[in-house]
Chain A
Amino acid sequence: MGLAKRIIPCLDVDRGRVVKGVRFVDIVDAGDPAEVARRYDTQGADEIAFLDITASSDQRNTMVEVVEAVASQVFIPLTVGGGIRALEDVRRLLLAGADKISINTAAVQRPEFIAEAAREFGNQCLVVAIDAKRGATGWEVFTHGGRRGTGMDAVQWARRMADLGAGEILLTSMDRDGTRSGFDLDLTRAVSVAVPVPVIASGGVGTLDDLVDGIRIGGADAVLAASIFHFGEHTVLEAKQRLARHGIEVRM
């Protein structure tokens, strides 16, 4: 017995409200973040991730308030991502009660930001989010929700980020995201074996068995999913029961 594999429901938050997903055409208001987070906590979520999809920067303070509210009621780790570019953003979110900060575009634009943030806050709270798309010879890192290519190899990028101070990699397959056809297991595997830090697999979960595969075949340390939990198809508890049935250690 030892460390459990983690299940992380992800909430997209727009202007302080949970919405059903940035990549869905019809964004439907799905509720108060604290309420939704409490529900997942009760179901046995190991962590909760919040992705701030608010477009306008003057609404950014709202996320700090959301984190404050959630952290007063839910006592499991909280990861916050979306538009974080400065040490001051990281500090404010951590002080509001976030445990980990997920950084994507800002790391691509200025990789040293990761080193600076790690020095200031420790690598345990720094998650580097990588959006990757399959190319001819591997996977390319994309930013801006998969719209902008960087020309960089995702596996090499993950390794570099871990070297600079990322404590964890949140790896999303842009090819699979929103398709519900399962993780890109080759990508997950390639990054998992390449970096010494934990890897969270994301993008493409459509069934509970996809979660099992992400861990067993992809080698992920944690799996993140949004829609299968959001639409009430499955609870986190059901997901854990499925993992346990396949001999994967989980926190029940």
Chain B
Amino acid sequence: MKRVVLLDYGSSNLRSVAKALQAAAPADTSVHISAGAGELRSADRIVFPGQGAIGQCMQRLRDLDVIAALKDCLRNKPFLGICLGLQSLLTTSEENGGTHCLDVIPGDVRRFVPGPQLKVPHMGWNQVIQRRPHPLWERIPSGERFYFVHSYYVVPREQALVSGSSDYGVEFAAALARDNLFAVQFHPEKSQRAGLSLLNNFMRWRP
């Protein structure tokens, strides 16, 4: 059996992601929840979920002492980041008075500026335009809607990493892809069929 390990660092969407992974898993894949560096290192694939505030997310990762293991996995295993699991990969975030993040992808995380027609958080089903083909987009049409809930968005220094984009007052990166890494701003675990397809694609992906 292939092992997908879902990192448990207290993210509130942990169970939802676990349930969706289980529903989408191919027959040869088992889903495990773990907070341990050892489990991460022995996994075949990693899912890094996230929801909430970035300051607390970074603090919990430090408390669990899993940052080195996460970074090792990012070098060679298929790795899926979700929401804060995307944002925390950048260099810095404006959230919580400026937060230093993992700096795996150079760039920063900015807040949407609310306006009369622009409620923040950006909450609901928005279209994701696929900027380039990727195995994780298989069987998912460009322009498909996914469920978003976030107040901050990522701005990678390298535009070529943007695999999918959405529009909310500004055009922003909804998905980044680099080698064995794929990370999304939306919540595939809450995006019905399209979300389950993406999770299934991830578990079959051979980067």
- A interface residues, Cβ below 8 angstroms from B: 1-6, 41, 46, 71-72, 75-77, 91, 94-97, 99, 119-125, 167-168, 193, 196-199, 221-222, 251
Q: How far is the CB of A50 from chain B (nearest CB, A)?
A: 15
- Complex contact A197–B121 (CB within 8 A): yes
- Complex contact A72–B114 (CB within 8 A): no
Given contact pairs A75-B189, A75-B192, A251-B145, A125 touches B12 in the complex (Cβ within 8 A): yes
- Complex contact A125–B51 (CB within 8 A): yes
Chain B residues near A1: list those with CB within 8 A. 127, 143, 167
- Complex contact B123–A198 (CB within 8 A): yes
Indicate if B53 sits at the interface (CB-CB under 8 A): yes
Indicate if B13 sits at the interface (CB-CB under 8 A): yes
Chain A residues near B3: list those with CB within 8 A. none
Chain B residues near A193: list those with CB within 8 A. 116
Main secondary structure of the interface of B (DSSP, over half): mixed
Chain B residues near A95: list those with CB within 8 A. 12, 14-15
- 21 A-B pairs in the complex with CB atoms less than 8 angstroms apart: A2-B126, A2-B168, A3-B125, A6-B125, A41-B192, A46-B124, A72-B19, A72-B22, A75-B191, A76-B147, A77-B187, A95-B12, A97-B15, A120-B52, A122-B12, A122-B51, A123-B121, A125-B51, A197-B119, A221-B119, A251-B125
Indicate if B58 sits at the interface (CB-CB under 8 A): no
**What class of interface size applies to chain B in its complex with A?**
35 or more
- Complex contact A71–B12 (CB within 8 A): no
Q: How far is the CB of A154 from chain B (nearest CB, A)?
A: 18
Query: Which one of B13, B16, B187 has the greatest number of beta carbons of chain A within 10 Å?
Result: B16
A5 to B189, CA, bound (A): 20
- Complex contact A97–B19 (CB within 8 A): yes
Indicate if B195 sits at the interface (CB-CB under 8 A): yes
Indicate if B37 sits at the interface (CB-CB under 8 A): no
